[in-house]
Amino acid sequence: MMNQSVIFFDIDGTLFNSDKELPLSTKEAIFKLKEQGHVVAIATGRAPFMFADLRKELDIHTFVSYNGQYVVLNGEVIYTNPLNVTSLQKLTETALQNEHPVVFMDHEDMRANVPEHTYIKESIKTLKIDRFPSHDPHYYKGRELYQTLLFCPEGEEQQYERDYHDFDFIRWHPVSVDILPKGGSKAKGIEKIVQKLAIPPERHYAFGDGLNDIEMLLAVKNSVAMGNAEETVKASAKYVTRSVDDDGISHGLQLVGLL
């Protein structure tokens, strides 16, 4: 295809509306892009197992997950960036002393270091997924982990930011923070994909709404922030579309000339 483009979509607040549902207008727009021969991909902070149904529904086989730490192109894993296990073990010991639970995550599952905790229930349920982390305090041993969730009230993550320099900390919920490898981002994950695609930067697009989308929106030539995004996110994008609840994806694709 002469004018083939690649378009990366965040999930929560971008593909999914405020009820964690896929609007019909968004689904129809995605399939129009695919019919035109474009490459449609997902770029999310979610784990692969958290959006398997969405990939199936949209017939998407290329994605950046864990905010860039686990990258798949046409069904093949092309890049992984696991957490430093030694530092993670030390952080977990500190978190236990502070009564801050953690959830370890690889590409297949997630396990909590405590049997149960209100913060875990409160935040995980907002994702509206069909699984909940079971208890395995040693899940970090002998496997690559791409993200860990730290559960603490806002502001209390600052002590970890000060003491654990191998990680980046991104808050996604009032009581939960993503722990990622230092310097990892959706932008770096996207870079791994576009390096293998013969599509020039002028035909790279990205849609997002969250703080973890800022680097992606700054890096991709044609970036679109959702109308429901915070102002700092909107300021990072080339375009701003309507809210996800107001057919934002369909409108945004028309705005940039893809539909």
Which CATH number belongs to the domain containing residue 128 in this structure?
Answer: 3.30.1240.10
- The verdict on 171 and 197 lying in the same domain is no
Number of domains in the chain: 2
Domain match, 163 and 98 both = yes
10 is annotated as an active-site residue: yes
Structural domain harbouring 36: 6-80+184-255
Complete edge-to-edge strand list for the sheet that includes strand 147-151: 134-135, 110-112, 102-105, 147-151, 176-181, 167-173
Task: Answer with the one of 181, 204, 231 that is the final residue of a domain.
Answer: 181
Distances (CA, A) of 120 to 114, 135, 176, 227, 237: 10, 12, 8, 29, 32
Instruction: Say whether both 195 and 174 belong to one domain.
Output: no
Using the 3D structure, point to which of 129, 150, 181 is the last residue of a domain: 181
- Tell me: pLDDT of 2 over 80: no
Last residue of a domain, which of 181, 208, 239?
181
Please state, rounded to an integer, the average pLDDT across all residues of the chain: 96
| Model confidence at 1: pLDDT above 80 | no
Q: Does residue 176 share a domain with residue 90?
A: yes
Q: What is the pLDDT of residues 237-252, one digit of tens each?
A: 999 999 999 999 999 9
Q: Which of 10, 12, 178, 209 is catalytic?
A: 10
Could you tell me if residue 1 is inside a domain? Answer: no
